[in-house]
Amino acid sequence: MSTTPAATSSPTRVLFASLIGTTIEFFDFYIYATAAVLVFPQLFFPSSDPTSAMLQSLATFAIAFFARPLGSAVFGHFGDRIGRKATLVAALLTMGLSTVAIGLLPTHAQIGVLAPLLLALCRFGQGLGLGGEWGGAVLLATENAPPGKRAWYGMFPQLGAPLGFILSTGSFLMLTHWLSSEDFMSWGWRIPFLASSALVLVGLYVRLRLTETPAFEAAVAHNERVALPALSVFRDHGNALLRGTLIALTVYVIFYLMTVFTLSWGTSRLGYEREEFLWLQLGAVLCFGLTIPLSALLAERLGRRPTLLLSNLLVAVFGLSFGSWFAADAPAMTLLFLSIGLGLMGLGYGALGTQLAELFPTAVRYTGTSLAFNLAGIFGASLAPYIATWLASEHGLGAVGIYLAIAAALSSWALLRTPETRDR
């Protein structure tokens, strides 16, 4: 194994590799989220009750979030035992192959009940791959960062989220514009899933040219690796795992409320056309991308904890006013609503990866960081669109905002119990 400093410390290669990988992974993940609202209820879950079909589709959307902690444990084990590079390549392949397979699936009309079962299996594969991707990409960046720049380096893989969203939403927008509704539902929706294969090849090429991070090589040299990283995380770092999970909760809840839930509610209950609402989301996600670097800068200057606490406070205030922003026949107000929500998401998300990575020692950092992030996905994202749809249907949009404010309060509680890690 090479330990040449020049090879492991090239900022351009490291940051691009961390960014391109997460961009591809989130592109794959988001095209499923969009299709789960626009396509799958009709093609894989036909029902006389549209709401029932939508809820079944959103349930398969949730499957990946339950698979992600398993992916964290599996890929984290190898990431902490054999290295970051090989594990990141395997995670990308797992995600990519699962996504391409979705684009090849027959529908319910062709093979009956087997269609949604195969869709659920592929969604599980997506979750497994992403469970090992995000934590490794964050460590690739932060473990190569020079002193005083961990949050700035750790921001680059986070930019993959808005970039992946822009690519996925842009793909569906172009297909909606170019194809008739019949062609889109017949075969056009498959194109983004199949096109993912080209992006995966690019990602693999970049990542195969990487070398190990200096921190992992130092752990190997000092014989610091543990036999079972997942067991060590739960046994020796359980408190950090719990705090990390709660710290990540809010960014999950707000993101999937502002993307999946709003797309579903806006196009089904508020009367927005599919193409119109996708354009609104695409414009709003630019605010998400812009506030991620701001978050990293604040985390370097003020600290990780103050930055995340500020983000949670603003999210709670936004949540308590949720019901008055999102309305029919008000696209300008809806755009502002989406922009503020996603901008606040970025304000927390930019510093989150670095914060979670700094909670764990090198020997279990891949596993611990990934588990904390993806366990938060179970509680904060997997059922968020489902819960929000039920709350809005039964109690109005204001109840959805209270749900978001409660998540922000839980994250803030965990942060207040976590020491500042900037100078460690």
Question: CA triplet 379, 36, 398: central angle to 5 degrees?
Answer: 55
Cα dist from 6 to 3, 114, 141, 145, 154, whole Å:
9, 52, 15, 13, 20
∠ CA 352-346-129, rounded to 5°:
60
Note whether residue 274 is domain-resident: yes
Residue range 342-358: mean pLDDT, rounded: 97
Is 424 contained in some domain?
no
Q: What pLDDT was estimated at residue 227? A: 92
Domain assignment present for residue 151? The answer is yes
Confidence of residue 48 (pLDDT cuts 50, 70, 90): low
Q: 33-47, 101-115, 234-248: lowest mean pLDDT where?
A: 33-47
Q: Does residue 307 form part of some domain?
A: yes
What CATH number does the domain containing 42 carry? 1.20.1250.20
Could you tell me what percent of the chain has a pLDDT over 70?
97
Token pair in block for residue 141: 């960046």
Q: Are 368 and 270 in contact (CB under 8 A)?
A: no
pLDDT above 60: residue 1: no
What is the separation of C-alpha 199 from the centre of its chain, rounded to a whole number of angstroms?
Answer: 18
Is residue 246 in some structural domain?
yes
Distance CA 392, CA 386 (A): 10
Let me know how many helices (H) and strands (E) the chain has, helices first. Answer: 22, 0
Reading the block at residue 384, the tokens are 């968020």
Q: Indicate the pTM of the whole model.
A: 0.87
Note whether residue 335 is domain-resident.
Answer: yes
Do the domain assignments include residue 87? yes
> Is the CB of residue 119 less than 8 Å from the CB of residue 60?
yes
**Which residues constitute the domain of residue 35?**
5-416
In the chain, the number of structural domains is 1
Q: How far is CA 145 from CA 14, 119, 139, in A?
A: 9, 39, 10
Nearest Cα residue to 136 out of 184, 170, 174, 88 = 88
Note the pLDDT tens digit of each residue in 108-157: 889 988 999 999 999 999 889 988 988 999 999 999 999 899 999 999 99
HSE (CB half, 13 Å, CA atoms) of 402?
7
Mean pLDDT for the chain overall: 90
> Is residue 348 a part of any domain in this protein?
yes
